[in-house]
């Protein structure tokens, strides 16, 4: 399996996992973010057995970050309307 096939397989796994938890559009964005991080910071990691857990860890961090941002945004909007 060459590097491109590994990334395509990994992309499908990440997308399937993310789509179960968020909308399809948001899942696509998360997948792109994860693949970007892998490409920029983890180029030395090439084995599928290493890439899968690393990619899912990055995905979980990205999903938690998006959730925290959403909560902060909702809180800020509530405060702006005078609702606590």
Terminal-residue alpha carbon distance, the chain: 54
Q: How many CB atoms lie within 10 A of CB 58?
A: 20
Q: How many domains does the chain have?
A: 1
| Tens digit of each residue's pLDDT (9 = 90 or more) over 23-63 | 999 999 999 999 999 999 998 998 889 999 999 999 999 99
Residue 84 confidence (pLDDT): 52
Residues 42, 61: Cα–Cα separation, whole Å: 16
| Tens digit of each residue's pLDDT (9 = 90 or more) over 7-17 | 899 999 999 99
Q: How many CB atoms lie within 10 A of CB 74?
A: 10
Distances (CA, A) of 17 to 33, 39, 59, 77: 14, 20, 9, 30
Confidence bin at 2 (pLDDT 50/70/90): confident
* Residue with the two structure tokens 């990334």: 7
Residue 83 confidence (pLDDT): 59
Residue 34 confidence (pLDDT): 96
- Domain range for 51: 3-81
């Amino acid at each position: 399996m060459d590097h491109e096939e590994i990334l395509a397989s990994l992309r499908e796994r990440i997308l399937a996992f993310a789509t179960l938890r968020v909308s399809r559009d948001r899942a696509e964005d998360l997948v792109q973010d994860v693949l970007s991080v892998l490409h920029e910071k983890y180029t030395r990691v090439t084995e599928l057995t290493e890439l899968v857990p690393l990619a899912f860890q990055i995905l979980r961090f990205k999903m938690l970050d998006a959730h925290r941002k959403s909560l902060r945004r909702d809180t800020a909007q509530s405060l702006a309307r005078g609702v606590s």
